[in-house]
Structure 1
Amino acid sequence: MSVITRIAREEWRALFRDRVAVVGLALLTLLMLVAALNAWEHQRNANAERARYQAQANHEFEMQPDRHPHRVAHYGHFLFRPLNPLAAFDPGIDPYTGNTLFIEAHRQNSANFGDVRQSSLLLRFGQLSPAFVLQVLAPLLLIFVGHAALARERESGTLRILLAQGITGRQLVLGKLLALSGFALLMLLPALLMLAGLVASGQAAWQPSLLLAAGYVLWLLLWSLMVVLLSGLLARSRDALLALLAVWTIGVILLPRLVPDMVSSALPLPSRFENAIHVQREYLALGNAHDPNDPTFAAFRESILKEYGVTRIEDLPVNFKGLVGFEGERLSTELFERYATATFERQAEQNRLVDHSAWLSPTLAIRRLSMTAVGTDLTSFRHFLEQGETYRYELVQRLNRLQSEKLRYADDSNPNRENRISHEHWQTFPRFDYQPQPLADTYRQTAPASLVLLVWAGLLMALTSLMGARLGTTRQ
């Protein structure tokens, strides 16, 4: 048995003779199990509920009676975002964003009915999840368990005896680090088993699960290094405990809340009402797509008459009102997309600034990696909205095409005549099929956060190695 392994074994014995370590590990494991079961049950119910409502919305849309196509466009449709199975591990921003999208003609709606708005106000202060336990509580337990790892040897006088017996400072430090890392792995074990269960059952893909597991292994290794480093640098265990608690408070509690607030102040987003006012003003300037005689569409009318070689819209082989609706929807969608893209780009810029601040607090890095790997970040939410908008546009334009091809202009312009087409057309429309973003995009988006964690771990490892060398060359 090597010296390092022997030191680690003795440290483990000391850890498990300590009631703080045993009780803390038991409580953390219990919290992890409760968080995992609660999150899994919530996700199972939410997915079942959304699937039921989606099936109901699809059925009601398809079972509409014979109608005018444009009435169907205004009848609208509901789209529900399915939950990623890994969202049970880290809910991310999902509780604060909507999960239901109502699509209709001439409008681009945002998603509604986020969990925070539908639940107790307590949810606004944080949701118990495996990610929260590992990001916030696990480092705190490591601090209380390991803060005296080296300081205890110094205070009791055994450090000098160990060094006199030929044990090098680095061997001692590595042994302590090995023991504390093993303890951290025990804390992580329930989460790893949860991920393994999701993969084994076929509910989650193994690639993002492995990425998530690797990220949290690196995160707890980083804290193990931090604890051993400060325990070796400071003379007394009490000083090491206070210093580590200060690091945890600033790095885990304060900075992750302060940085987003500062970024929001530096790069403010226009309010939803401001955007709605600007969009409505520009939308009205586009003309009335319900009126084929609107002067805004005069140039469009002339181009259509020229294309078909006729002089009157009554002589067109297609319904001009449907063509105007088609063109109006194209113009309004471009307007909506311009404002939506500007908003998302502003939010992405805010996120980039927050991500850059991860060099000050790796907590921001592990949060970014965790949310991105499980698909509960802003990019995934945007992915859902963009797919919903694409589906909305294609559905409305298909209805406009039916109006232009299935109804005569003379009949459609007669207010005394009911113009309807068969309900069988609604049943041929494709259903919404949400597709999560490709794994390659997930890897690319998590790369900066992974780099931050690796650099922090490498830096702490180098400093810990130097500290170990110093233990063997100075008088203690």
Structure 2
Amino acid sequence: MNINNVSKVVLIAKDEWRYWLRSKLAVTVLVIGLVLTLTSVIVTAITMIELSHTRHALQTTSDKSFVDQPDRHPHRMVHYGHYAFRTPAPLSTLDPGIDAFTGNSIFLEGHRQNSAMFADNRQGTALTKLGSLTPAFIVQTLAPLLLILIGYSAISRERELQTLPYLLSQGTSGLTLIAGKGLALICVVGLILIPLMVSSLFTVLNGESLLAVASFILGYALYLFVWVLLILLASSVFSKNSGSFTALIFLWILLCIVMPRVASTTAATVVPSQGKIETDFAVKAELRKLGDGHNANDPAFKQFKQSLLKKYNVETLDELPVNFRGVVAGESEAKQTAVLNKFAEQRMQAELKQTQLSRNFGWVTPMVAIKSLSMIVVGTSIETHHRFLRETEQLRFDFVQGLNKVHSEKLTYQDDINRNANATATKKARVSADNWQILQNFTFNSDSALVRADRSTSAFLQLLLWIAVLVGGIKFVGKRLL
């Protein structure tokens, strides 16, 4: 494009802006878009910062409550348990992702794996869920609608006003006219993205990577550019404003409302996952085969008992240098954890397959592409949640086995089996509270920016394909514009 054409593009863009500024509807839509984006950024940021401080305080309180427990039997502390909290990722102030649905804390205790708790959207009422206008929701869903309201008549208006033949006769090509209108819409996109860019840059001060921030902003810029191209194409194809507006509203409903739900429904149908009740029955059936870790005389541990006596070359349990009941508890926990992890991995693999299948719908709707890209880059995707579950499970196992070690090494077998004989025996079967200093400091961080960028490659390619196809369509229509 030569300098003369560039000046024409800029001139057309300026003229479009003058038209918008004279139009009360366009100005109103612009103001609403900016206010909504800015307000959602501020409110969501404040909420996520408060959540971060609250979770940190609760983690500290939970750890202190555990270590401040008095002298107890070690296995009592296994069931007392403690909590692990997940602090929000820095960029989650803009897109909470699945964190709002999956929960942010887990209660860790022996013999079982608990689900994440305290999900914001599970605790809220229907009214509060509808009022959850996050910056991601605003830009993903409402910003395209605002762009449609502003730009649906960009080219079709020139046809209705009979100014299109005049413009073309003055040496302005159809592609130049479309480019000028597109430049004006891109400026609107820039205004919408400004609050998002400023707030995302602030997350760098909280430890977020510049690569993640750049990927986040670029992803949303590409997404809105897709909508700019869709608006220009529709406005160029239809000869009347009403036709262009109707087609674009239909596309908005299809691409932003219908198709994402079709994607999730299809994924759940094609990759079915076992229900909670069926899974619980299957887990219990497997665990019953392992024996009861609370009962050292369970037949399931007969062979283990013989191997332990042989290992230490003794004849009776009293002669063992360790408490047999504590060793059995540790052995049982290890086997139970292996079973629990097997079922947990099966569930997570099913969830991941469902997610990956639904993400493929990004090739047919840019909404799915940007939602996937946003959550991955921010660090609030299913992959990050699964890593949280795995890390907290390792934390749970280490903490329980630490107590089982105390049980086997700090309490004699005779004191343990006689603990319910009388008050004195019960007191003797306790260990010092000094042994509760076994908790590891738990801090959960998002994956590195490079890992997140690598995961988001497919979503970027989906948006770029949309852009390439639409640019091709606009070139075809622009050469025949009249």
Give the letter aligned to residue 410 of structure 2.
K
2:283 to 252, 264, 279: 279
1:259, distance to aligned residue in structure 2 (A): 2.4
Paired residue for 2:218? 214
Q: Distance in 2 between matches of 1:337 and 1:156?
A: 68
For structure 1, the 5+ residue unaligned runs are none
Query: 1:383-414 CA distances to partner (integer Å, 9 max, x unpaired)?
Result: 21111101000011111111222222222222
- Contact 1:373–1:446, Cα closer than 8 Å, also in 2: yes
- SS of the residue 1:2 aligns to: helix
Q: CA deviation at 1:265?
A: 3.1
Structure 1 position 442 matched with structure 2 position 456:
no
Tell me which amino acid in the other structure corresponds to 2:106: L
* 8 Å contact from structure 2 (residues 94, 135) kept in 1: yes
In structure 2, the partner of 1:142 is: 147
Partner residue in 1 for 2:401? 397
Shifted more, 304-313 versus 339-348: the winner is 304-313
| Contact 1:35/1:128 (<8 A) preserved | yes
Of 86, 91, 108, 2:91 maps to 86
TM-score, scaled to structure 2: 0.94
Q: Is 1:422 aligned to 2:432, yes or no?
A: yes
SS in structure 2 of the partner of residue 289 of structure 1:
coil
1:371 paired residue number: 375
CA distance in 1, matches of 2:404, 2:328: 9
1:373 aligned partner, one-letter code: V
1:460 is aligned to 470
Alignment of 1:163-242 (within 5 A): 163-199=168-204, 201-202=205-206, 204-242=208-246
Residue pair 2:86, 2:443 contacting (<8 A) in 1 also: no
C-alpha distance in structure 1 between counterparts of 2:128 and 2:359, whole Å: 25
Q: Distance between the aligned counterparts of 2:415 and 2:80, measured in 1?
A: 22
Deviation at 1:203, TM superposition (A): 5.1
Distance 2:175 2:339 in 1: 64
Partner amino acid for 2:28? V
Map of 1:289 onto structure 2: 293
Aligned mates of 1:442, 1:450 — CA distance in 2: 12
AA aligned opposite 2:87: P
Structure 2, unaligned runs of 5 or more: 1-5
Q: SS of the counterpart of 1:317?
A: coil
Q: Name segments (4+ residues, structure 1) moved above 4 Å.
A: none
CA–CA separation in structure 1 for the residues paired with 2:450 and 2:292? 43
Note if 1:53 corresponds to 2:61.
no
Q: Could you tell me whether the CA contact under 8 Å between 1:412 and 1:419 is conserved in 2?
A: yes
Give the superposition deviation at 1:377: 2.0
Shift of 1:231: 0.8
Say whether residues 1:33 and 2:38 are aligned partners. Answer: yes
Letter in 2 for 1:432: F
1:435: Cα distance to partner? Answer: 2.8
Taking only aligned residues, the RMSD between alpha carbons, in angstroms, comes to: 1.7
Whole-angstrom distance in 1 between the partners of 2:125 and 2:296: 50
Quote how far apart the aligned CAs of 1:428 are: 4.5
Aligned to 1:362: 366
Aligned residue for 1:23? 28
In the TM superposition, what are the counterparts of 1:312-351 in structure 2 within 5 Å?
312-351=316-355
> Per the alignment, in what secondary structure is the counterpart of residue 445 of structure 2?
coil
Q: Give distance in 1, aligned partners of 2:169 and 2:299.
A: 96
Q: 2:29, 2:149 within 8 Å by CA — same for their partners in 1?
A: no
Task: Count residues in correspondence.
Answer: 471
1:66 aligns with 2:76: no
One-letter code aligned to 2:52: N
Preserved contact between residue 233 and residue 473 of structure 2 (Cα < 8 Å): yes
AA aligned to 1:72 is M
- Does the 8 Å CA contact 1:383/1:437 hold for their aligned counterparts? no
Matched, 1:10 2:23: no
The corresponding residue for 2:252 is 248
Correspondence for 2:442 among 432, 453, 458: 432
Q: Does 1:311 align with 2:315?
A: yes
After TM superposition, give the deviation of residue 262 of structure 1 in Å: 3.1
| CA deviation profile, 1:224-253 (whole Å, cap 9, x unmatched) | 011011111111121111111111110011
The equivalent position to 2:357 in structure 1, one of 353, 359, 363, is 353
Alpha-carbon contact 2:402-2:438 (below 8 Å) kept: no
Q: How does 1:152-171 map to 2 (within 5 A)?
A: 152-171=157-176
Distance 1:412-1:281 versus aligned 2 partners, 3 A rule = same
Q: How does 1:104-123 map to 2 (within 5 A)?
A: 104-123=109-128
Query: TM-score, normalising length from structure 1?
Result: 0.95
Distance 1:235 1:375 in 2: 44
Q: Which amino acid aligns with 1:40?
A: A
Q: CA deviation at 1:427?
A: 2.4
| Secondary structure of 2:346's aligned partner | helix
Equivalent residues of 1:143, 1:244 under 8 A apart: yes
- C-alpha contact 1:383 1:436 (8 A) present in aligned 2: no
1:258-306 CA-partner distances (Å, limit 9, x unpaired): 3212332333322222212221222122101122221111222222222
Inter-partner Cα distance in structure 2 for 1:441 and 1:311: 55
